[in-house]
Structure 1
Amino acid sequence: MQPLTFVNDHNIATIRGLASLATPMALRVAVTLGLPDRLRGDGAAVEQVATELTVSPVALELLLGHLATLGIVERASTGYRTTEYGATLCTDADNGLTNLLHLNMAGGRAELAFVELLHSITTGHAGYPRRYGHDFWADLADHPHLRESFDQQMTHRFREQVPRIVDGYDWARFSTIVDVGGGIGTLLAAILTAHPGVRGHLVELEPTATEANRTFGAHQLDDRARATAGSFFDPLPEGAQAYLLCDILHDWDDEHAHRILGRCVEAAQPTGRILVIEAVGGRWASTEFDLAMLVIFGGRERRIDELRALASAHGLVLDTVTDLTDQRCLLEFRLATTS
């Protein structure tokens, strides 16, 4: 029986480690306080940093002690200093981690909605409104700094994947593309740059639409691209050959996803294509991210059959599925009356 006891003890320790909130919260608090940046170089004494940040020196010592066991900081003659490994969490590392962990930025704030996961599993609805009193998008509208950090987060998420998305599909088939909810225009600008014969129109809420126009200007695309302020729940620019929804539908429950697709079909009549780029459930989507979509937005990473069924309600037929990257697929839909 001894081997079984050992295995059980090992399993218990492993699960306790997986379930512990101490480390993820310690990392988030460290980033929110700016500790990796503050302790670079020679580092600093706990008392000095505590005074600067107006925090408890005793509590800060406890936090830094745990960060030292993680290898984020190390003890030095001056107190504590950031390690090379810990520098990954510095603001100028430009890897998106600050946004995802900082409790006062869109990503870090959103992940705290996981404390409402039981509510989301019980009801099927987002936990974010239960925690903050209104949904994620209303929060961005009410707090401009959250909107700005969310736009930055989306840019970081796509930066490495944009070249593969551009190269992995025949965008030149279309003379006009409407990027629906296209953020600050990073993807659309890359598509148009690679295909001089294509024109683009991006629809996004303010102030993101203004930033998208700056993106187009920076890429010398003013003559072929423009962004207008608007919602994808309202009528969209009509008559384009393709309507692009990139990482849009997974942010919404079925009711809202139907409204978005309805607007695209309404604008695309009679021959336009609807292009959906997402992490597809059972294909590339991670189970962890699936739960994040649920608890933050009330959405999910739908499977191909679910996306097909969602689209068919609007007279759309799935033509092709293309694996663009190791994270996202492109599903091309046409109107059932279009050959």
Structure 2
Amino acid sequence: MSTTTPQDVLATGKLDLRAALIERIGGYMTAHAVGVAAELGLADLIGTGSRTSQELAAETQAHEPSLRRLLRMLVSVGVTEEPEPGRFALTDIGSQLRSDSPDSLRKFARMFCHPIFFTSWQSLHHTVMTGERAFDHVYETGVYDWLAQHGETSTLFNEAMSEESRISAGQLAAGYDFPATGTVVDIGGGDGTLLTAILLPRPELRGIVFDSPSGVAEAPATLSKAGLTDRCEVQAGDFFQSVPGGGDLYIIKSVFQDWGDDEARAILRTVRAHMPESATLLIVGTVLPETADTSAPVAYFTDLNMMVTTGGQERTEGEFRSLLTESGFTVRSVGLGQAGPLSVIEAVPTPAA
């Protein structure tokens, strides 16, 4: 006969709730642990097999007892596993920290576990109370100005963005009905990862990667490696001032999250002023539900990170529709989840009255 009492059940439930909240409070500890693992290249050293903490410590010149404790903590959050005492392997989640993985997020982990982000988040209270960007409050300059002055970190940031966009780029390239000919202009296209995915299977299609000078710094190498130099241009500029004209399809992916509404409208109006009346605009990014839920926590992480670092935000479908209407566009369709975790909003210039 069971001796479990209602009080025992209640206590167990409360303990589970308590543990759940404590895990969330300790989220920054997990981030630091993953960041150190990425920085040390532990996933590359472990590979598809398993390694002892002594072996890993010798190769990274780390303090073995401390490294072993780090690896055990990563076991607890599903990044590594310990098949036998002191020997560690990667889980499917942890394998994404391998540099040679096609799904690698190692540079993404290194970038977003960088001290500039941790330090900014320590001033979240300042942002919540004032509406001012924590990054600016801490560093006395904007994040993109800071990156422009720190070349090594800027390169890491661009590479991290490329890693993050690789899967959604492939899914967008396969899932959207791109034209077989014409010119695609990728506004804020970074190193050309997205445009490469679009152009490779469409040999008659041409492209232009457009971004800031630091943003497109790696684009020539990406396009050259893909054999696309002859049909894809790289142009540097400021999308608040001008964008390339004459395109048939304009794409803005994961850009508006970096900016507040005034800046977002300014970007859209610049694009509207330079694109042909016959062209189409695709906005690719997160579309939040009208009321928050637990289905996609990463979207809300990103939203708050934008608030802290750039002053930007994620938006609902209704908010996107308002921005587009106010900037001279008519929404033609909204494909929720059409690019993996990202959605695709298709809009066209609204005819002049």
Give the TM-score normalised by the residue count of structure 1: 0.82
Partner of 1:329: 343
Of 54, 61, 64 in structure 2, the residue corresponding to residue 52 of structure 1 is: 61
Residue 290, structure 1, aligned to residue 296, structure 2? no
Q: Write out aligned runs for 1:28-177 (5 A).
A: 28-37=35-44, 42-43=51-52, 45=54, 52=61, 63=70, 66-67=73-74, 72=80, 80-85=86-91, 89-93=97-101, 95-102=103-110, 105=111, 108-109=114-115, 111-112=117-118, 113-172=120-179, 175-177=182-184
* Residue-by-residue CA offset, 1:67-126 (whole Å, 9 max, x unaligned): 56557375989xx55423366544444643322332xx3564464233333233333343
Q: What one-letter code is carried by the residue in structure 2 that aligns with 1:245?
A: I
Q: Which residue of 1 is the match for residue 332 of structure 2?
A: 319
Q: Residue 251 of structure 1: CA displacement?
A: 1.4
Please say if 1:265 is aligned against 2:272: yes
Work out whether 1:239 is the aligned partner of 2:246: yes
Q: Show structure 1 runs of 5+ residues with no match.
A: none
Distance 1:209 1:88 in 2: 25
**CA deviation after TM superposition for structure 1 residue 138, in Å:** 1.6
Shift of 1:248: 0.8
Q: In structure 2, how many angstroms separate the alpha carbons of the residues matched to 1:307 and 1:200?
A: 25
Q: 1:197 to 1:100 in 2, by over 3 A?
A: closer
Tell me: CA distance 1:68–1:276, structure 2 relative to 1, closer, same or farther (3 Å): closer
Alpha carbons of 1:36 and 1:96: their partners in 2 closer, same or farther (altered >3 Å)?
closer
Shift of 1:171: 1.7
Work out whether 1:187 is the aligned partner of 2:187: no
1:245 Cα deviation after fit: 0.5
Give the superposition deviation at 1:36: 4.9
Counterpart CA distance in 2 for 1:107 and 1:63 is 16
Tell me, yes or no, if structure 1 residue 305 matches structure 2 residue 318: yes
1:203 aligns with one of 191, 210, 213: 210
The alignment yields a C-alpha RMSD, in angstroms, of 3.4
**Alignment match, 1:10:** 16
Judged with a 3 Å threshold, the aligned counterparts in structure 2 of structure 1 residues 301 and 61 are, in CA distance, closer, same or farther, namely same
User: How many Å apart are 1:134 and its aligned residue?
Assistant: 2.5
> Paired residue for 1:248, among 237, 243, 255?
255
Change in Cα spacing, 1:249 to 1:225, as seen in structure 2 (3 Å) is: same
The letter for the 2-side match of 1:327 is: P
Unaligned runs of 5+ in 2: 1-5
* Partner SS, residue 231 of structure 1: coil
- What is the total number of aligned residue pairs between the two structures? 333
Residue 304 of structure 1 aligns to which amino acid in structure 2? E
Match of 2:235 in 1: 228
Secondary structure of the 1:160 match is: helix
Counterpart-to-counterpart distance in 1, 2:169 and 2:60? 44
**In 2: Cα distance, 1:269 partner to 1:193 partner:** 25
Say if 1:221 and 1:87 are closer, same or farther in 2 by CA, change over 3 A.
closer
Worse overlay, 41-50 or 265-274? 41-50
- State the one-letter code of the partner of 1:263: T
Q: Is the 8 A contact 1:106 1:147 kept in 2?
A: no
Q: Does structure 1 retain, via aligned residues, the 8 Å contact 2:96–2:106?
A: no
Residue 204 of structure 1 deviates from its aligned partner by: 1.7
Change (3 A) 1:59 1:215: closer
Query: Do the aligned partners of residues 73 and 9 (structure 1) sit closer, same or farther apart at CA in structure 2, a change above 3 Å counting?
Result: closer
Q: Verify the 8 A CA contact 1:106 1:146 in the aligned structure 2.
A: no
